[in-house]
Structure 1
Amino acid sequence: MARSKMIYQNTIIQLCRELPPGYGGVERVAHELATHLLTRYHRNIISYSFNPAHCEDPFTVDYSREVLPCILIGQLLLPRPSSKYFTILLSPCPLIIHLPCPTILLLAVFAKIIRPNRKILVYWHAFLESKGMGGLFLYFYQMLALVSINLFDIIVTTSPALADSLRIHVKNHRKVQILPCCIHESQEHSLSIKLTFRSTLSHPILSDPSLLKLIAIGRLESYKRIDWLLSIVEKCNQVLKPRGNEIHLDIIGEGRSKSLLQNIVSSSPFLEGSVYFHGRVSEDIKQELLFDSDMLVLMAGSCNEAFGIVQLEAMALGIPSVSLYNSKSGSYWVSNTSSQNWNGSRSSMHDFLLNVARDKTKLSILKTEASSRYRKHFSRTVWNRNFENIFNAFVES
């Protein structure tokens, strides 16, 4: 009995829809939490995931990972009978859940009802938007989630924008804490070396003054709105090309919208030869393409894209990042700097990019500001400090 109690006291359970570390932002955050809890507090971490896509994750991790049996209906996960669910529900161990996910939300609610004194931390990654019948389901899920989170002890989210939106629904505002996403320490070190090397290069070698090289990274799905970005680049090149200037765009990623986007490019003389599709690439190639770029563009059209970790990768490399403004998303806040002088609206992005393409001095300032903002707000040193401020009480209680 004493040994069992000791095991419970040294174990933290985590619930995440997909298998971490995976390739999406939520899974990467879940991986960093599990890894840091293990190394910093020497806790036994058990990370449960549904892994509905049955992905074979090539990464090795130091914490335990368990797959929960389920039936996938559309995007809805229905649990299949398993003793693992009873372990999650009945255990007194502290519980960390990653939302959005209706099934995980319900498991956490039942766990809190069964053990009211159990510590449960919610990591709220994003608000959701959708249309049609799916949108109606998401609306009711989100309303349930916003009511239910009052049951839990700590609510962590990634930006001031999301925190402000959550505090409208949370009775005790002190429960809501901000922990922005981060990149792994080894990756930060690698990017820092590249940034140092980049700073030693002379400007003529570093950048062709007639080109503004943009890069977009992510799944080629409709909500990423790469089609909007192509339209803006096309309009910019209509102005720039007759004057001997040009915007180039590198696109990294795969998805259902790829063929549609390729057709848009091939049908426009102001895009063909200026836009390059690289597909899914290795981490090394992605960093090389980032290194060769002038600016990252995150063009999400909804609050589903709440925080782009790729923005941090770019900023750590001294590459400015721009994102559309959304009151329930933190992406604009992540990368916005004073010299951008841009309100984040889609309608004004055309003028913003034209100004940067014409003025490489401004681009140089933006690069300096991006690097400085990363160090001040998102570096691992800052993240570690913020992490401990939130998790010390959660872990030690």
Structure 2
Amino acid sequence: MSPPDPSHAPAAPGTTALPRFTADPIASTLWPRWMLVTIAVSASILVTACLLWAFWCCCCRRCHHNPHKPRSQETVGLASARGPTSSHMVQPDVDELGSSVGGPHLWGRLLLSLEYISGREEIRVGLKQAAELRTPAPGHSADPYARVSISTQPGQKHETKVHRGTLSPLFEETCCFQVPRSELPQAILWVQLLDFSRFSPHALLGELHLPLGTVDLQHVLETWRELGPPGSAQAEATLGEVCCSLRYVPGSGRLTVVVLEARGLAPELAEPYVKVQLLLHQRKWKKRKSSVWGKTTGSPYFNEAFTFHVPLSQIQSVDLVLAIWTRGPQLRACPVGKVLLGPRASGQPLQHWADMLAHTRRSVTQWHHLWPAGEVDRALGRQPRWRLPLPHS
């Protein structure tokens, strides 16, 4: 028989028995077991969520900064801009902006080639194809053909074949015009796209007005050109051009617009001046006005700079409008023509805006044709203002 365990021996009278040692530490705590299990499970879920969030952030950062992204998909770079804002927030792709609503590009594009043969003193115009033509009646097709002429040779013209039921005709035709070298700087190439109809007048689908003095004809040139609305080519030829310089500094948000000069205006215009206007989200925001040119001339020289504060986060939502105004016969100011630059522009004005954002802190200068004020206002979605008639008007 084994001796009795002293730990089970009864306590002597008058003494206090010591508590027994407990092997379970959870049982010795004051919290119940279910509460400890709940805390452990919650902590595990929290740690797992933190790890998943960190892994997701690393994957997103790696996708945004993929070094193997092709150059054709890269946006305009702003390496000199400081701050957390990246370049894709500033300038979208020019091709995407070319399809925006409300510009002359809605009338289509034309691919043509130009070659000047010095020995024969003739210019060879090749009509390749047209794309994205606009029909007079929405939802209907067209039977387009092209008509080509030179301003210095009004009696000569060339018409292509009619292409049935298409808005992207493939012409592949060439025509030649005799243009002496002395008349080349003043010559203007006119291309009209028309919709053939057997029993009604042929409707104009779009026009192209290209001064040959602004094109380098020493080599064969093949390029896409934007078509303007019907009648816009004559308007461009009579309204004139304006030269401006753009410069943007992302760090300080300074947009500098320098209006240099104008040319090709009607010589009878009196006291011309320039209005520079900024629109934010299609609403009037800021405006400036140049000094009035006192002389009556078709080529006023302004050379005035206007500075606007446009934060980097708003440069993509801004429209810049340059308008030449003059005093009318009743001493009322009226616009001669306007130019729209910005993300909603098209053609050369859009390219000028993109070059400004691609070469920040540098001035980019370019000539622009003046468009009718009504065309630009409709492109901006603005309603015409009704003016009260003056007495004796």
Structure with more of its chain in helix, by fraction: 1
Greater fraction of residues in strand: 2
TM-score w.r.t. structure 1 length? Answer: 0.25
TM-score (norm 2): 0.25
Relative contact order higher in (CA < 8 Å, ≥ 6 apart): 2
Greater Cα radius of gyration, structure 1 or 2: 2
